[in-house]
């Protein structure tokens, strides 16, 4: 299948990159400029900004409640953005759709970003919020059964790393991990994965841009050889939570996600790998309004309902 025509049309209208050094502040400002006003956002029963009091410090979170209830299944969501972009605002629409379509209370994490916050600050925030969410005094009304983690791109990296870290710490409350086109191997060796070559140029995220975009994170102390930085490098995947790994046909990072899913299955972890044809990296954030891609939220709902 060729690239979806709506995505191709959008990409054709983008200006050429200026080729200069990346400016985190300018890129963040551009990202935030596209956030829709509140009255244009998907309505839910309740949306509340709160502060999670955790051992990692105070972490801003946004809590999305789809319907009134005494107890809730909970999903903790980590936004993408190459570890230096993204916010509660830029991914608000993703969290709203997750809450509406799955029926889970969604906790979106405003974790600290590189380069201002050195590794492992962002990961620490994400892990701390998951543990906070399971506490009674968090006030989320967690039902004590379903506690999922989810993330897109670099947020998928954090979701995988949090699941692994929780397992190693003996924190066995995480029941599902949902990884949308995850960034799982940060050494960017183009010979390692065919998708880095096949999808190198022309599909939005380009292979030659991976190193500079992730440099803010790597230069802050994140070692690509560390399995908490590159989860695909973890030697033993046994005992991790069931996983849904969503990949995109025209994503340079497609193959590392699919390899991770294969390795999870080999380790005995119940895993679904779902490739979305015609899509490129970032489709959940940018193109979930297209019906073929909006079904990712229904697939997530079905995955969460299996156990």
What the block records as the tokens of 85 is 């972009």
Give dist(CA 246, CA 258) in Å, integer: 8
- The CB density around residue 170, as the number of other CB atoms within 10 Å, is 6
User: What phi and psi, each to the nearest 5 degrees, are found at residue 300?
Assistant: -65, -45
Closest among 222, 226, 187, 224 to 207, alpha carbons compared: 187
Half-sphere exposure of 166 (CA within 13 A, CB side): 28
Active site positions, annotated:
153, 251, 281
Query: What burial letters (b/e) apply to 69-93, b meaning 16+ CB within 10 Å?
Result: eeebbbbbbbbbbbbbbbbbbbbbb
């Amino acid at each position: 299948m060729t690239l979806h025509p709506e995505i191709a049309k959008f990409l054709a209208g983008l200006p050429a990159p200026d080729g200069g050094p990346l400016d985190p502040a300018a890129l963040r400002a551009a990202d935030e400029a596209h956030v829709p006003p509140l009255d244009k956002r998907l309505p839910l029963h309740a949306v509340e900004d709160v502060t999670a009091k955790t051992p990692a410090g105070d972490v801003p979170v946004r809590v999305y409640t789809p319907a009134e209830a005494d107890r809730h299944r909970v999903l903790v969501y980590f936004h993408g953005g190459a570890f230096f972009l993204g916010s509660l605002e830029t991914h608000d629409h993703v969290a709203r759709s997750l809450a509406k379509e799955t029926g889970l209370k969604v906790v979106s994490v405003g974790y600290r970003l590189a380069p201002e916050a050195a590794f492992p600050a962002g990961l620490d925030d994400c892990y701390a919020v998951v543990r906070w969410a399971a506490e009674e005094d968090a006030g989320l009304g967690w039902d004590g059964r379903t506690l999922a983690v989810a993330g897109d791109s670099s947020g998928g990296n954090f979701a995988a790393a949090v699941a692994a870290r929780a397992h190693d710490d003996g924190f066995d409350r995480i029941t599902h991990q949902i990884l949308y086109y995850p960034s799982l191997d940060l050494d960017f060796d183009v010979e390692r994965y065919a998708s880095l070559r096949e999808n190198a140029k022309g599909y939005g995220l380009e292979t030659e841009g991976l190193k500079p975009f992730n440099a803010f994170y790597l230069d802050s102390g994140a070692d690509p050889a560390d399995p908490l930085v590159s989860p695909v490098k973890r030697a033993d995947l046994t005992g991790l939570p069931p996983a849904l790994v969503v990949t995109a046909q025209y994503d340079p990072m497609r193959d590392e996600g699919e390899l991770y899913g294969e390795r999870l299955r080999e380790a005995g972890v119940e895993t679904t790998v779902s490739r979305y044809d015609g899509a490129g990296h970032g489709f959940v954030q940018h193109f979930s309004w297209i019906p073929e891609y909006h079904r990712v939220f229904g697939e997530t709902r079905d995955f969460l309902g299996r156990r």
